[in-house]
Amino acid sequence: MRKIEAEPLSVLRTRTSYKWQTYPADVLPLFVAEMDYPLAEPVQQAIIGRVLASDTGYVAGPEPVADAFAGYARRTWDWQVDPGDVRTTTDVSVAIVECLRQTVPVDGSVVITPPVYPPFFELPLEADASVVEVPLLLTGTGWQLDLPALERAFARGADALLLCNPHNPLGLVHSAETLGALADLSAKYGVAVISDEIHAPLAYDPRSFTPYLSVSDAAREYGICVSAASKAWNIAGTKCAVMVASSERTRLQLDSMPEEVSARTSILGLHASVAAYDDGGPWLTAVLNSLAENRELLAELLSAYLPEIVYRPPLAGYLAWLDFRGVGWGGDPAAVALEQGRVALESGLKFGRQGTGFVRLNFACSPEVLTEAVTRLAAVRAAPSDL
């Protein structure tokens, strides 16, 4: 089973990205969603090739990445995407804002489902809309969308839902049945669904993931998919995202966007994304093998050193949502982890009120770094303190 080895800390600390420039060298950064693995060679070569050709101008259009994304969707999820229905922009956050501008009236409202990716609280505001929170339900079998509460929000006049599919920070993969029921509600109340599927290629079982637009005619009528190769292939800085429509209504919405929305796509990101979708599969499989081992290693480490922490291994992605409430570190355990353990985690408070007492941990690192991080946290728990 091929795996990808994370680069050593001595190399990682020469990177100039946010992950490696935010904290001093004595801090282990396991917060922001960047991976510690070297880039896939096809992606590297695509970027280098464009630079060597001095091909760093404006994008001519979405066609290359539209074809590549459609091919990847067909091979991976049996989702039939018409490349003509694909548009591009700079990143998924911009895609969300621009889609909301087309689907939500000024002073309209957008539903989000916390605990959820922190920008979801802000992106509707950028589109001149308000935010309506409908928290996820935690049941005995795990997290899930609260469909009755979503229907109540739709009935009260919500204009759109931001769907996180798979759901960050939980690594939750919504079932086809749940998505189908959501699509029925969307059609019943005329509510747009913007489905952020950036983590979809990181599902540990690709067959478990259901693209929202594939579930039904109702989903296609009111839904728009936004995605990118950036999370799975670790190329966020190259700036290219896709938007997919599958109905006359949503095609018109995408085509009504200003030309500048597409023009902001990076030509380097476009070619990097083409290489990822077309030729990056073997690399991604090896990365998922490494992540799967780290996912289990984290469970073992927590059981051995911090058994009070509740951890449900994610079904997609490399982000662990950890319940520290049994440890007694207060509402923001990430602050304690950083100050006393020199481990940078993402504060659960950023993900909504439901994140009080939680942290998000990025385990896309070497097993040695992950082990060191947990042992540092355990040492804080064991040491006398004023907590």
Q: What is the largest CA-CA distance in the chain?
A: 63
Q: What is the mean pLDDT of residues 156-178?
A: 98
Dihedral (CA of 212, 218, 162, 167) sign = negative
Q: What is the mean pLDDT of residues 141-150?
A: 95
Which ranges of 223-366 would DSSP assign to H, the alpha helix? 248-255, 259-263, 267-279, 281-305, 333-341
CA 35 to chain centre: 13
Q: How confident is the model at residue 385 (pLDDT cuts 50, 70, 90)?
A: low
pTM of this structure: 0.96
pLDDT in tens, 43-70: 999 999 999 999 999 999 999 999 999 9
In the predicted model, what is the mean pLDDT of the chain?
A: 97
CA angle, 293 then 299 then 300, to 5°? 85
What are the chain's domains? 9-39+281-382 (3.90.1150.10), 42-279 (3.40.640.10)
- Local structure of 225: helix, strand or coil: strand
Q: How confident is the model at residue 139 (pLDDT cuts 50, 70, 90)?
A: confident
The candidate with the shortest Cα–Cα distance to 3, out of 371, 297, 277, 283, is 283
To the nearest whole percent, how much of the chain has pLDDT over 90?
97
Helix (H) or strand (E) holding 370: helix 367-382
The candidate with the shortest Cα–Cα distance to 6, out of 345, 230, 234, 279, is 234
Helix (H) or strand (E) holding 169: none
Instruction: Supply the pLDDT for residue 109.
Output: 98
pLDDT in tens, 299-311: 999 999 999 999 9
pLDDT in tens, 19-33: 999 999 999 999 999
- What are the Cα distances from residue 187, in Å, to 87, 96, 114, 154, 191? 23, 20, 23, 10, 7
pLDDT in tens, 191-219: 999 999 999 999 999 999 999 999 999 99
pLDDT in tens, 252-300: 999 999 999 999 999 999 999 999 999 999 999 999 999 999 999 999 9
**Phi, psi for residue 16 in degrees, rounded to 5:** -105, 10
Contact at 8 Å (CB) between 235 and 272? Answer: yes
Q: What do you get for the CA distance between the two ends of the chain, in Å?
A: 44
Q: Is the pLDDT of residue 371 over 80?
A: yes
Instruction: Supply the pLDDT for residue 381.
Output: 80
Q: Is the pLDDT of residue 387 over 60?
A: no
Which ranges of 117-230 would DSSP assign to H, the alpha helix? 123-126, 147-155, 176-189, 217-222
Instruction: Supply the pLDDT for residue 141.
Output: 83
Instruction: Supply the pLDDT for residue 383.
Output: 65
Calpha distance 251→49 (Å, rounded): 33
pLDDT in tens, 329-367: 999 999 999 999 999 999 999 999 999 999 999 999 999
Instruction: Supply the pLDDT for residue 320.
Output: 98
The candidate with the shortest Cα–Cα distance to 187, out of 156, 151, 152, is 151
pLDDT in tens, 115-136: 999 999 999 999 999 999 999 9
Instruction: Supply the pLDDT for residue 29.
Output: 98
To the nearest whole percent, how much of the chain has pLDDT over 70?
98
